[in-house]
Chains A and B, each alone.
Chain A
Amino acid sequence: MTDDVLVRVDNLVKYFPVRTSGMIRRTVGQVQAVDGVSLEIPRGKTLGLVGETGCGKSTLARCIAGLLPVTSGTVNFDGSDITNLSRRRMIPYRREIQMIFQDPYGSLNPRRRVGAIIGDPFAIHKTVTGSERKRKVQELMERVGLNPEHYNRFPAEFSGGQRQRIGVARALALQPKLIICDEPVSALDVSIQAQVLNLLSDLQRDFGLSYLFIAHDLEVVRHVSDEVMVMYLGRVAEAGPKAPVYDNPRHPYTAALLSAAPAADPETAATRQRILLTGDVPSPIDPPSGCRFHPRCPKAQDLCGQEEPQLEVKAGDVTSHVTACHFPVEAGENLATVASRREGL
């Protein structure tokens, strides 16, 4: 395993059983939340994870963080296998892997003071106590842009952006190597988003952090990530360094997503055509056969419903840019026309 890869996930599968209720419960199906995902997060870099609601990105994140048991596959952190470790054995890794959550209102205990919340990591791992702890907490507060005099306040007294900063301070406390950010700015106003994102990149620069950054907003992901991975219904559709994926999306789903994102430049916005996808996202309990995207794909053909496409480098792409598609988007192809033509059929 190369030294500059911090996290390596290998073919991770996570199914949730669907059970009948009552005294004797039978399993009647599986929610296939994550169905064979592999990824690598390099040290000091950010991997952006994108996808619609229900594509499995949050589940994947929690599996990596050890908050959910893995059905199969492995998670490797800094050279060690941390898959499905017991709570006790996981404790040292909890110092290295931290999470920031989406909901600034739900991720902080409303009954506890902010100083106690940020000091939790110190308390749980028994590192520093008393006034030393208070000093460190206040240092952290300053580092993330909060007033250390607010040590004794309650979360209710802070705005959404400030609360996310509290969450960041808490995550930073034990100097982790990896921070998993689960849609950290989705619930914030746009102007505040920028400030929090800038904070995160400053911290990455200062502390050499790696991020797994989950979002559904492509522009946000583009801003923060070094590498990008697009997920659909539990599988990886496309992955690679930021520039190739954004400039030359090969998977029709990626192309559709990118076309839907609002363009900052009004000219581009006017000339670019929306690729409209038909239908709804299918249920992860009963996913489509073959390529999971085929019922909605403008380029789908019979093969797509029969055989699952492998994640591989397509002709003309750099080696780290992989796509899972039988009929990837070609250069110069206007997918919008293809999509609307199909609609007419």
Chain B
Amino acid sequence: MSITEMEFQASSVEGASVQTVEGRSQWQLTWRRLRSDKVAVASMIVIVIMVLLAIFAPAVAALVHHPVDTAYPNTGETAAGNPVGPGTNGFWLGTDDTGRDLMVRILYGARISLFVGIVTTLIATVAGVTVGLMAGYFGGIIDTVLARFTDAVLAFPYVVLALALAVVFGPSLSVIIGVIAFFSWAGIARIVRGQTLSLKEKEYIEAARSLGAGPFRIMFIDILPNLLAPVLVLATLYIPSAVVFEATLSYLGLGIQPPTPSWGNILADAQNFYQVAWWYVVFPAAALLITTLAFNLLGDGIRDAMDPTTERLLASRKGGRRRLRRGPVGGPSAEFPDPDVQVAGGGVI
């Protein structure tokens, strides 16, 4: 290549670099990676469908003309008083032991489970982040008190205490939400505290202090954005635990009380009939399993989309067939330039 050709190449690159590109935020990059993860996308679709079904449960009930609490001893039970199977007499998934439409009850149960799952996680996340931030940032006596309290809550056998609280306050929806949220926030708080402790030492925090920023501004405007990634992953993974927790409580009789359907209490009744009505066990269990699986997969997907380094490590070690379509860290401690982002012109410096 002649000199002039090389110069031409160089200048055309220069010229091309004048085209500036907007910086893509961490969220936009994560979303792009997430979109290309088929499993994560499938999970999201499943969750959306589940949520829609839950919201429109009454519509479905009207569609099949079986209100949720109505028993149909004639069409819905065998002569011996046992549940009828799927597809009989207009019961798409069969009936339960009192002849109620199982599918409708499962959908109404979804409302409870999803509501409990999401609301408790929201409460736990807000509480956990706040406690963790304050403990980590303020340090000293505040940290000691908050951290010990967090550890105590974490170590305690939550089921036992949940049961005890159920005795004292009686089972009800708000008690359940309170109990589950109470035991969930600690895990988030601990992680947030750990992250805050290390983020606190960063120079840009010192810079903020030197500008005169107060502690709350620093916590919520400087530290929090760097925390959101792990918190989001954690929250997504807490939803299924909350759902399972509620189901377990209802199963033991300490959660949602009949006749309000919850997947837990449906399964509790179902256990007595498993020898004659497999659908009574299988369908609610499948609903539970699909929901929790979907959230778990989505959480994993989000985590991978935010922090693909582990995958890179593995791929390079095994000389993997896996395409390296991901760049290095987009995670909370990213201090390396992200090659996904175009560094356009604007000066040689």
Which residues of chain A are near B23, meaning CB under 8 Å?
113, 150, 152-154, 157
Most chain A beta-carbon neighbours within 10 Å: one of B23, B202, B222, B349: B349
Given the known interface contacts A145-B347, A147-B347, A162-B349, the answer about A109 and B226 at a Cβ–Cβ threshold of 8 Å is: yes
Q: Is B143 an interface residue (CB 8 A)?
A: no
Which residue in chain B gives the minimum CB-CB distance to A163? B349
Contact residues of A between 139 and 192, Cβ < 8 Å to B: 145-147, 149-150, 152-154, 156-157, 159, 161-162, 165, 167, 170, 192
Which residues of chain A are near B334, meaning CB under 8 Å?
110, 156
Which residues of chain A are near B204, meaning CB under 8 Å?
106-109
- A146 near B347 with CB under 8 A, answer yes
- A120 near B213 with CB under 8 A, answer yes
- A91 near B210 with CB under 8 A, answer no
Interface residue count on the A side (C-beta < 8 Å): 45
Q: How far is the CA of A102 from the CA of B207 in the complex (A)?
A: 11
Most chain B beta-carbon neighbours within 10 Å: one of A102, A107, A120, A167: A120
Q: Is A99 an interface residue (CB 8 A)?
A: yes
Which residues of chain A are near B20, meaning CB under 8 Å?
147, 149-150
Which residues of chain A are near B349, meaning CB under 8 Å?
145, 159, 161-162, 165, 192, 195
- A112 near B225 with CB under 8 A, answer yes
Interface residue count on the B side (C-beta < 8 Å): 32
Q: How far is the CA of A83 from the CA of B9 in the complex (A)?
A: 59
Q: Is B322 an interface residue (CB 8 A)?
A: no
Binding site for B on A (CB under 8 A): 65-67, 87, 90-91, 94-95, 97-99, 101-103, 105-113, 120-121, 124-125, 145-147, 149-150, 152-154, 156-157, 159, 161-162, 165, 167, 170, 192, 195
- 25 interchain pairs, CB-CB under 8 A: A67-B210, A91-B212, A94-B211, A98-B210, A98-B211, A99-B210, A101-B206, A108-B204, A109-B204, A109-B208, A109-B225, A110-B335, A111-B225, A111-B226, A121-B211, A125-B212, A145-B347, A147-B20, A149-B346, A150-B20, A154-B25, A156-B334, A156-B338, A162-B347, A192-B349
Closest 9 pairs (CB-CB, A-B): A94-B212, A153-B23, A111-B225, A106-B203, A161-B349, A147-B346, A107-B203, A109-B204, A156-B337
